[in-house]
Chains A and B, each alone.
Chain A
Amino acid sequence: MFRYFLYRLAAVIPVLFGVSIAVFVMVRLVPGDPVQLMFTNQPLPSPARLEEIRHQLGLDLPIWKQYLNYLTGVLQGDFGQSIRSRQPVFEEIVQRLPNTLRLTFASLAVAITVGILAGVLSAVYKGRWIDKVSMVVSILGISIPGFWFGLMIMLLFGVRLEWLPVSGATSWKHLVMPAITLGLISSAIIARLTRASMLDALGQDYVRTARAKGLRGSTVVTRHALRNAFIPVVTIIGLQIGGLLSGAFIIETVFAYPGVGQLAVTALQARDFPVIQGIVLMVAAIYVCVNLLADLVYGFLDPRIQYS
């Protein structure tokens, strides 16, 4: 286990390096002078002043030195300064990160509960109406645009019925609609995989043995089949977290939910590159770490995996 852990950890470090290079290069690829971009929507200072700022920011150094400076900055929590608000980017992100994490985990809870329940039921009742309905609904779930679904439930539960608040993030009630909207797609994906994986498990010899021993149907399903069917599901859940984190960009905008995603969209519209760069780097880093965690859980759940 420990060797497997070290091996996976070692594989993650070059990826994180690559991510930092990609994010660094990304901003260099933006057409136009980065210093002039800092003065978007403002009068441009004199060329001498521009030169001075360029020097202060180290933009006159060779590119590899610029990257090293950037990397040391990032490792110390210095993500630069927002062009729009003049605040340190790191602080802006950290202020909003708890809201986004709360939303991500709430929608993950929705996705896992609905997805696994629907998947198990359709596998157990394969070919019956419950299977057919839940599989068609799950295809619909991955086809409906989340931002539209969000607007529709907002119209129904927020505007017409007035059961839930339509925007903001001051109480748990604010979390309900965004979490359901965001969890929808993932629950459909998890349901489909759980069904396939359960069908596989239900056909195995050990399940037949368990049934032959006279165990109750529910015990066979939950104790024997589900535990084994769960292994691939864990991996897809890890991958879903990335989808949820980036899906939050759009859904937070729909519900005016003050998270990192909303900040990202505002920054994109204002071409506030330090903020975009910081958010992209942070979300990618979180995503890589979550997948590492999912891999480790996978190894833990399935003792057959050889750690070589």
Chain B
Amino acid sequence: MAQATGAASGEKMTLAAFETQRQVRSRSRIIRDRLLANRLGLLGGVIILFLVFVAAIGPLIAPYDPLEMVLSDQFLPPSKEHWLGTDDFGRDILSRLIHGSRQSLMVGVVSVSIGAVIGMTVGLLAGYFGGAFDMVSQRIIDVMLAFPDLLLALAIVAVLGPSLVNVMIAVGIGSIPLYARLIRGQVLSLKQKEYVESAHASGAKAPRIIFVHILPNSLSPLIVVASLGFAGAVLTGAALSFIGMGAQPPSPEWGAMLSSGRSYLRHEWWIATFPGIALAVTAFGFNLLGDGLRDALDPRSLD
């Protein structure tokens, strides 16, 4: 395959370059094969794809309006008309879950992005340049790590005020230390590698070294952590909504739905049960995927 490409473009390819290209290809093939062979990881991927699909076409497939109150349909148990029953306002639970999938995925996407982007930037700069920036940022991270995850998110939401957007910001800020530490460690070890030193010696500027040589090589642990972090973010976001600090009624956010279903647990069990299952399945999917990616990307067994 590599040979064919080389010949087609008519380039002269040194043996070393050919070897590298062959290794890169076989590496990505190993990763792909491993991912496909890991049945649980694959299951995780399928769950996530399904969720994204549901969230994308939600309004088209939801049988009812998620917010419309039909007081004559209050507390209907699961049936042919309402597969997952109705809630205290007669709203169809399945339709609410379908619409709520957008919010849960959004919490994951936004908070992981905030955490990963800021964390990565801090980690790259601190690891590469060291010095005062490294010192100061590491001390701030030490202080952030002194607060258990959920507590930090709670404190931030307390300051910002209750809303789903603030929950995303809070969970995102709360995860900055994780990504910053991870990337900093990666940068510190990659900086010692010969290819980085030779790039340096051949006159490459810092941005080029960081973005071309260091960053791409530190991405695989970041992908694993982000996938697992996604599950955590969805659950923390739902927990904050559950205690009333996140999405507010009548939003079909899953944690908020669970919270309102709590009062009817004794007789109308379905109101609180199904949003919890939806949350568990989502987090399960991301955790399986993250685990699968970790095994597939493990560099110790790649070389």
Contacts and interface: CB of A to CB of B under 8 A. Distances in A.
A246 B151 contact: yes
Contacts, number: 137
A151 B147 contact: no
B265 interface: yes
Contact of A148 (B231, B244, B272): B272
25 contacts: A19-B143, A19-B146, A21-B143, A139-B40, A139-B288, A142-B231, A143-B235, A145-B238, A145-B239, A145-B283, A147-B258, A148-B275, A148-B279, A148-B280, A151-B258, A151-B276, A246-B148, A249-B150, A253-B242, A264-B154, A276-B158, A280-B147, A280-B151, A284-B147, A287-B148
Which 6 residue pairs are nearest across A and B when measured between Cβ atoms?
Answer: A148-B276, A18-B143, A242-B148, A143-B283, A143-B284, A246-B150
Contacts of B280: 140, 143-145, 148
A243 B245 contact: no
B262 interface: yes
A151 B148 contact: no
A19 B151 CA distance: 12
B276 A26 contact: no
A166 to B, nearest CB: 9
Given A246-B148, A276-B158, 18 more contacts: A18-B142, A26-B158, A139-B284, A139-B291, A143-B284, A144-B276, A146-B239, A147-B242, A152-B276, A155-B266, A155-B269, A250-B150, A268-B245, A269-B244, A269-B245, A271-B158, A280-B147, A283-B147
A177 interface: no
A242 B150 CA distance: 9
Nearest to B153: A246
A250 B243 contact: yes
Contacts of A246: 148-151, 154
Given A15-B143, A26-B159, A268-B243, A284 B151 contact: yes
User: Which of A22, A30, A143, A269 has the largest number of chain B CB atoms within 10 A?
Assistant: A143
Nearest to A147: B242
Contacts of A271: 158
A145 B277 CA distance: 9
B277 to A, nearest CB: 8
Nearest to B150: A246
Interface string A114-143: 000000000000000000000010011011
A202 interface: no
Contacts of B258: 145, 147-148, 151
B218 interface: no
A288 interface: yes
Given A26-B155, A148-B272, A245 B142 contact: no
Interface in B274-290: 275-276, 279-281, 283-284, 287-288
A29 B159 contact: yes
A14 interface: yes
B139 interface: yes
Interface in A224-250: 242-243, 245-247, 249-250
Contacts of A264: 154
Nearest to A288: B146
Contacts of B244: 265, 268-269
B273 interface: yes
A145 B275 CA distance: 10
Contact of A265 (B148, B243, B291): B243
A249 B140 CA distance: 25
A19 B279 contact: no
A216 to B, nearest CB: 33
B139 A18 contact: yes
Chain A CB within 10 A, most for which of B238, B242, B258, B291: B242
Contact of B287 (A143, A280, A287): A143
B253 to A, nearest CB: 13
Contacts of B142: 14-15, 18
A30 B159 contact: yes
A268 B158 contact: yes
A243 B231 contact: no
Contact of A18 (B146, B281, B283): B146
Contacts of B239: 145-147, 250
Task: With a 10 A CB-CB cut-off, give which of B146, B272, B291 has the most chain A CB atoms.
Answer: B146
A50 interface: no
A250 B273 CA distance: 17
B161 to A, nearest CB: 8
- Of the listed residues B140, B154, B276, B280, the one surrounded by the most CB atoms of chain A closer than 10 A to its CB is B154
B287 A139 contact: yes
B276 A145 contact: yes
B157 to A, nearest CB: 8
A41 to B, nearest CB: 16
Interface in A18-44: 18-19, 21-23, 26-27, 29-31
